[in-house]
Amino acid sequence: MSIGILGGGQLGYMLALAGYPLGLRFRFLDPSPEAPVGRIAPRVTGDFTDRAALEKFAHGLEVVTYEFENVPVDTVHFLAKKVSVFPPPRALETAQDRLREKELFEKLGIATTEFASVPVAYDLDSTVKKVGLPAVLKTRRMGYDGKGQWVLRTAEDVKIAKDGLPKQPFTVERFVPFTRELSVIAVRGKAGETAFYPLVENHHRNGILRLSLAPAPGVAPEIQKAAEDAARQVLEALNYVGVLAIEFFECDGKLLANEMAPRVHNSGHWTIEGAVTSQFENHLRAICGLPLGSTTAIGASAMINLIGEVPESVQVLAIPSAHLHLYGKEPRPGRKLGHVTLRAASFEQLTSRFLSLPGFFQRPDFCLDGTGRKSKSPGA
């Protein structure tokens, strides 16, 4: 079966690596001639809006998916006339707009952060009053890894933001004093069957994911159920096929949905070694109409993102149960270059393994304090 993937970054790279053992073939479309998938799969280099490139890309494919959430929706509609596209274009449209995403959560009765819309040139003060301070101002579109968002703590912050606001729509959300951030990776097949991985605990720094612990320690069964119920509702409402991630804040023992990603997700990378079937394989199984694989975790895993720089491979490979993934990208500050998954039989063993990590992993910017957990500083 030939699968086309829009976007040639690390998510596409790991999708192809998971699909080759299943006998699947891949072709990518990416605007950059340096896209990481160039090493492992044929690729069309062209803009997502270039109709000739899209025709060339789509020729002979049986299914198209995307690994990049900001693919123009028109591109996906154009391709959907020629070949099946999963997840459905409506999921992409919803996830690209924070307001629509939040409205979907609200419509489905999924608890979310209190929010309000700030249309272009709207008076920010009155919107902020609706949700109260502190608040988080976010661009409705093209925000990722903490980009396009500002924490507003005082009236002065509101004034500064207002004066500097570019002419584009925003949302304002109530700042949530969460205890921790959790995410669920869910998958839905073509016949409507669903499966869910155990909740993952995520630690961010400057809006970028640094560390995921899976299964998240100390999750009450009703919290896991609430996450699965929320994900199932979204999957069904969108008639979704493929992997979907939803990020939550855990606050006062309850979950508040923050955002969703209609694709495989960074907080699911641990599933490559830490679950019976990886999120990448399950995404492919779903979009190809194959049976879904087990989402059961094998022991406990920690996934550490390598951001801006990578350690010596020899250092990582000397760590028992560490798995190194390098994406073949040029180092640049703030860039996700790879990840390391550390596995153990139990969370206690995982915790003690952290203590023996070499110096590279002990830096404060990896948020590791020797226990795999970090002190909370929401939004930091």
The beta strands (E) that lie in the chain are given as 2-6, 25-30, 43-45, 63-66, 84-85, 115-118, 135-139, 149-152, 170-174, 180-188, 194-196, 200-205, 208-214, 242-251, 254-261, 300-307, 322-326, 336-344
- Binding of residue 143 to ligand AMP (CB under 6 A): yes
Closest approach of ligand AMP to the CB of residue 255, in Å: 13
In angstroms, the CA 290 to CA 190 distance is 8
Query: Pick from 27, 43, 188, 204: which binds ligand AMP (CB under 6 A)?
Result: 204
Instruction: Tell me if 136 contacts ligand AMP by CB under 6 A.
Output: yes
Return the residue of 94, 258, 282, 301 that touches ligand AMP, per CB under 6 A. 258
* Three-class DSSP category at 156: helix
**Closer to ligand AMP at the Cβ: 219 or 251?**
251
- How far is Cα 342 from Cα 240, in angstroms, rounded to an integer? 31
CB contact at 8 A, 306 and 368? no
Closer residue to ligand AMP, CB minimum distance, 293 or 378: 378
> Does position 181 bind ligand AMP by CB under 6 A?
yes
Q: In this structure, what token pair is assigned to residue 302?
A: 């920690």
Q: Does 201 bind ligand AMP (CB under 6 A)?
A: no
Q: Which part of the chain contacts ligand AMP (CB under 6 A), choosing from 5-13, 70-78, 157-165, 169-177?
A: 169-177
Binding of ligand AMP by 69 (CB under 6 A): no
Near ligand AMP by CB under 6 A, which window of 40-48, 66-74, 159-167, 173-181? Answer: 173-181
The residue whose two tokens read 């929401």 is 378
Nearer to ligand AMP, 113 or 341 (CB): 113
- For ligand AMP, which stretch binds (CB under 6 A), given 11-19, 85-93, 168-176, 294-302? 168-176
* Segment contacting ligand AMP by CB under 6 A, of 39-47, 153-161, 171-179, 366-374: 171-179
Measured from the CB atom, is 168 or 315 closer to ligand AMP?
A: 168
Instruction: State the minimum distance, in angstroms, from the CB of residue 242 to ligand AMP.
Output: 20
Among positions 87-106, residues that touch ligand AMP (CB under 6 A) are none
Contact (Cβ atoms closer than 8 angstroms) between residue 307 and residue 301: no
**Selected binder of ligand AMP within 38, 72, 207, 289 (CB under 6 A):** 207
Closest CA to 280 of 60, 14, 20, 8: 14
Residue 283 sits in the site that holds ligand AMP (CB under 6 A): no
Question: Binding of ligand AMP at residue 343 (CB under 6 A)?
Answer: no
- If the CB atoms of residues 308 and 378 are measured against ligand AMP, the closer one turns out to be 378
Query: 112 to 131, contacts with ligand AMP by CB under 6 A?
Result: 113
Is 70 among the residues that bind ligand AMP (CB under 6 A)? no
Asked if 214 contacts 301 with a C-beta cutoff of 8 angstroms, the reply is yes
**β-strands 242-251, 180-188 pairing:** antiparallel
Rounded Cα–Cα distance for residues 231 and 67 (Å): 19
Cα→Cα distances 201→99, 125, 214, Å: 25, 34, 7
The residue among 79 and 261 lying less far from ligand AMP, judged by its C-beta, is 261
Q: How far is CA 357 from the centre of its chain?
A: 26
Cα 208 from Cα 315, distance rounded (Å): 24
Q: Are 40 and 16 in contact (CB under 8 A)?
A: yes
> In b/e form, how buried is each residue of 312-322, taking b as 16+ CB within 10 angstroms?
eeebbeebebb
Please, which residue, 116 or 284, has the CB nearer to ligand AMP?
Answer: 116
Torsion angles phi and psi, residue 56, rounded to 5: -65, -45
Shortest separation between residue 166's beta carbon and ligand AMP, angstroms: 17
Query: Is there binding between residue 176 and ligand AMP (CB under 6 A)?
Result: yes
Residue in 69, 228, 259, 273 binding ligand AMP, rule: CB under 6 A: 259
> Nearest 5°: phi and psi at 373?
-115, 160
Q: Of the candidates 173, 201, 228, 281, which one interacts with ligand AMP according to CB under 6 A? A: 173
Beta bridge partners of 4: 27, 64
Q: Given candidates 31, 46, 72, 146, which one binds ligand AMP under the rule CB under 6 A? A: 146
Interacting residues with ligand AMP (CB under 6 A): 113, 136, 143, 146, 173, 175-176, 181, 204, 207, 247, 258-259, 378-379
